[in-house]
């Protein structure tokens, strides 16, 4: 899990690199009110900062509670976001910026991370699954609003 924790900010950065050139335009073609590139950058800077903090805590602690915080964050940031990009690409019928890293990095890392929380930190499997899925609820709702309603949470 320590290696996965260290990988989290790197994987996040790779995802933002894929998204950055086209996500704002893609988003604004669907959603009213639109977002600015500055808003996109601010949201991702905050997400990166939280990811760094979670990563450091996970790398330094073997506490199952810390692992659950990591599972919730990965459930939100990577699992739900990866699924969002897949659903958006399929539902809209064209590339949603972020789908490649969502599929190749976010989804596999999410599953592996939950497995490591169970195996290495002693988190109960059902608890890990529930926390990962519950952590993603804001992203599931936000993604639904974007793709199917043309609106957003914030």
The pTM of the whole model exceeds 0.85: yes
Q: What is the pLDDT along the chain (154 residues), one digit of tens a residue?
A: 999 999 999 999 999 999 999 999 999 999 999 999 999 999 999 999 999 999 999 999 999 999 999 999 999 999 999 999 999 999 999 999 999 999 999 999 999 999 999 999 999 999 999 999 999 999 999 999 999 999 998 8
pLDDT recorded at residue 153: 86
Maximum separation of any 2 CA atoms in the chain, in Å: 45
Cα–Cα dist 142/149, whole Å: 10
In whole angstroms, what is the distance from residue 117 CA to residue 96 CA?
30
Domain ranges of the chain: 2-149
How far, in Å, are 2, 68, 86, 116, 146 from residue 91 at the CA level?
Answer: 36, 32, 8, 32, 11
With contact defined as beta carbons under 8 Å apart, do 127 and 68 qualify?
A: yes
Would you call the peptide bond into 109 cis, given omega within 30 degrees of 0 as the criterion? no
The pLDDT score that the predictor gives to residue 93 is: 97
Helix (H, G, I), strand (E, B) or coil at 75: helix
């Amino acid at each position: 899990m320590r290696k996965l924790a260290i990988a989290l900010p790197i994987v996040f950065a790779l995802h933002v690199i894929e998204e950055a050139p086209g996500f704002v335009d893609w988003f604004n073609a669907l959603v009213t009110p639109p977002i600015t590139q500055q808003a996109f950058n601010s949201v991702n800077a905050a997400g990166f900062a939280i990811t760094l903090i979670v990563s450091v805590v996970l790398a330094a602690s073997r506490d199952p509670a810390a692992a659950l915080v990591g599972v919730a964050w990965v459930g939100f940031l990577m699992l739900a976001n990866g699924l969002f990009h897949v659903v958006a690409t399929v539902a809209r019928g064209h590339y949603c910026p972020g789908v490649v890293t969502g599929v190749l990095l976010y989804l596999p890392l999410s599953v592996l991370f939950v497995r490591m929380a169970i195996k290495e930190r002693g988190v109960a499997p059902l608890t890990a699954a529930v926390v990962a899925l519950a952590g993603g609820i804001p992203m599931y709702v936000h993604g639904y609003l974007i793709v199917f309603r043309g609106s957003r949470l914030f």
